[in-house]
Amino acid sequence: MSEPESNDPLSLERPRGTDWPEILAIDARAFALPKPLPGDEMIEFRNRAGEGDTVVIRDTASDGQPIVAVSLYFPVPVTVPGGGIATTAGLSWVSVSATHRRRGLLRRMLTEQYRTWRAHDLPFATLTASEGGIYERFGFGPAAFSHQIRVEPPAADFRTPAPADSRVRYGNQEQIAKHVPAVHARWAAGRTGAITRPDTWWPSIMADRSFRRNSQTSGLHYLLHADGYAAYRIDARDKTALVGDFVAATPQAHTDLWRVLTGLDLVSAVKASIPVDDPLPLKLRNARAVEVQGRSDELWLSILDVVKALELRTYAAPGDLVLDIADGFGDRGGRYRLTVADDGTATAARTDDDAHLAIDIAALSSLYLGGITVRQMAAAGRIDGADDDVALLGAMLAVDVAPFSGTFF
């Protein structure tokens, strides 16, 4: 679709094949990166982008009609409470030229992307955010979180004795290619909030493309375990091991892999991003050996189709509530009845009945995976209703595992 308006030189369009080098250049500039992706990386990226939809805004009044903004989404599978895997619209590469910022171009692109998502019946949109203040106005809320940790190997004293065999081996290329995507998919299917990486993402990850590292770091070392893997690189400047991926489908794999990582000789510290409820500190005699240096919002979520989204997950307690949802951006606002049966499955429907609770779509999206509790949200004044109804919604939405996505996109 192309929509040049009569006197508006800024035209929202789908890109032409020849636009991609310019799109990548705009993106690198907007994200303050040193340079755009070269040859092979551009092709891999285009293959990913081709699975969704890209929009650009062209300044038709300028010489050469430069592209001044870009936004795209690709399908991103996310595991929801109960184990279902939902295809979400993964918004990414959102860039507006410094010359055209704060003139509504992001809003215009998102309005078009939102229209496309609704036309494709997608239940959610997701993103990883560059800044925390941008996306709530469009109905996104932070929904999964991670801890950035630092462990000094000598301080990591496991409560259990080391086995005679570590059960972990460094993998060669062939072993990595065979094992890693399969065990990642197995792990992701069992972890709320996890992203199952589409096939088109793996070539770039396996090739360890330049944008994934800097000139001071080694390539990725893959530690393989029957039920997991860890991929880390060494930063030569301070001899730290930077864990890029840590995937353990069983508690034993988690212990075995961490034991090897925290046993790396000549390494000053191991740094990783882990779920906020990761058991690693509890496996050590001194939990403070795992120093939490930061907490990030990993994955943002926006419920696009309230009925579909509410019915996709399962719930921890039965109940019946009418939610009055506010939406300042899209078409999601209104009252919905959520009814959860004894087996934890739900039905949802629009209703004219009186509401028990009022909440906006971004706050509900933040609660959806269980990364923020209803009690926290209510304490922040972002749910309105009687205490009993707040408590009931809290019991219904409760999860026993903190959501963790494990993939930046």
Ligand X SMILES: CC(=O)SCCNC(=O)CCNC(=O)[C@H](O)C(C)(C)COP(=O)(O)OP(=O)(O)OC[C@H]1O[C@@H](n2cnc3c(N)ncnc32)[C@H](O)[C@@H]1OP(=O)(O)O
**Tokens coding 268:** 């000053």
**Tokens coding 253:** 């794999």
Is 105 assigned to a binding site? yes
Least separation, in Å, of the C-beta of 23 and ligand X? 13
Is 135 catalytic? The answer is: yes
Is 280 assigned to a binding site? no
Is 95 assigned to a binding site? yes
- Our CB check for ligand X shows the closer of 171 and 330 to be 330
Give the CA dihedral 140, 144, 145, 151, nearest 10 degrees: -150
Stretch that binds ligand X, among 131-139, 192-200, 230-238, 254-262 (CB under 6 A): 131-139
Q: What's the rounded Cα separation, in Å, for the pair 46 and 24?
A: 10
**Tokens coding 36:** 């755009």
Q: Helix/strand/coil (H, E, C) string of 358-408?
A: EEEHHHHHHHHCCCCCHHHHHHCCCEEECHHHHHHHHHHHCCCCCCCCCCC
Cα torsion 77, 79, 80, 85: sign: positive
> For ligand X, which residue of 137, 239, 295, 350 counts as binding (CB under 6 A)?
137
> For ligand X, which residue of 80, 86, 105, 180 counts as binding (CB under 6 A)?
105
- Our CB check for ligand X shows the closer of 131 and 343 to be 131
> For ligand X, which residue of 131, 342, 353, 400 counts as binding (CB under 6 A)?
131
What are the DSSP calls for 154-187, one per residue?
GG--BSSPPPSS-S-EEPPHHHHHHHHHHHHHHH
Least separation, in Å, of the C-beta of 332 and ligand X? 17
**Annotated active-site residue in 45, 73, 114, 135:** 135
- Give the count of residues interacting with ligand X (CB under 6 A): 22
**Tokens coding 213:** 């590292």
Is 409 catalytic? The answer is: yes
**Residue 12 interacting with ligand X (CB under 6 A):** no
> For ligand X, which residue of 103, 186, 271, 375 counts as binding (CB under 6 A)?
103
Residues in the site for ligand X, rule: CB under 6 A?
30-31, 91-96, 101-107, 127, 129-131, 133-134, 137
Q: Tell me the binding residues for acetyl-CoA.
A: 94-96, 102-107, 130-131
What residues act catalytically?
135, 409
